């Protein structure tokens, strides 16, 4: 606009809810608890306790309403405690794992 360039990001409602559930603005220093943004079935957990993880890395794949949702880490850290197993059903806002 008027000789200036702007970068924008458009996200749909599903992406917005997933980002909010993952804690969009997490402080780099503290512990973060990933919670289920919706009820569903844990399909896979591609990380293990004690593993070093990077911001944006997939922590859990959750199936809900026949769609697979990748729940990603909002920060660098270490997978501290995994509270669920693959194949387990979870409720909305249930703690899934913590990143320290």
51-86 pLDDT, tens digit each = 999 989 999 999 998 899 999 988 899 999 999 999
With beta carbons less than 8 A apart as the criterion, state whether 50 and 23 touch. Answer: no
CA angle 50, 54, 57 (to 5 degrees): 100
Q: Give the mean model confidence (pLDDT) for residues 28-46.
A: 88
Which residues are within 8 A (CB) of 80 and not within 5 positions of it... i.e. 6 or more apart? Answer: 31, 49, 97, 98, 99, 100
Tell me which of 45 and 13 has the higher pLDDT: 45
**What is the 3-state composition of the chain as percent helix, strand, coil, each rounded to the nearest 5?**
10, 35, 55
The pLDDT of residue 48 is 93
pLDDT digits (tens, 9 = 90+) for 24-33: 445 556 788 8
| pTM beyond 0.85 | no
Query: Which of 31, 76, 40 has the alpha carbon at shortest distance from 61?
Result: 40
Q: Which domains does the chain carry?
A: 30-99 (2.40.50.100)
């Amino acid at each position: 606009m008027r000789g200036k360039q702007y970068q924008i990001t458009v996200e749909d409602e599903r992406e917005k809810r997933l980002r909010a559930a993952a804690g969009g603005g997490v402080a780099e220093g503290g512990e973060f608890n990933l919670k289920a943004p919706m009820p569903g079935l844990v399909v896979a957990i591609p990380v293990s306790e004690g593993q070093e993880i990077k911001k944006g890395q997939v922590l859990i794949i959750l199936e809900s309403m026949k769609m697979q949702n990748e729940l990603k880490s909002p920060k660098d850290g270490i997978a501290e405690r995994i509270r669920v197993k693959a194949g387990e059903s979870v409720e909305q806002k249930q703690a899934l794992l913590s990143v320290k």
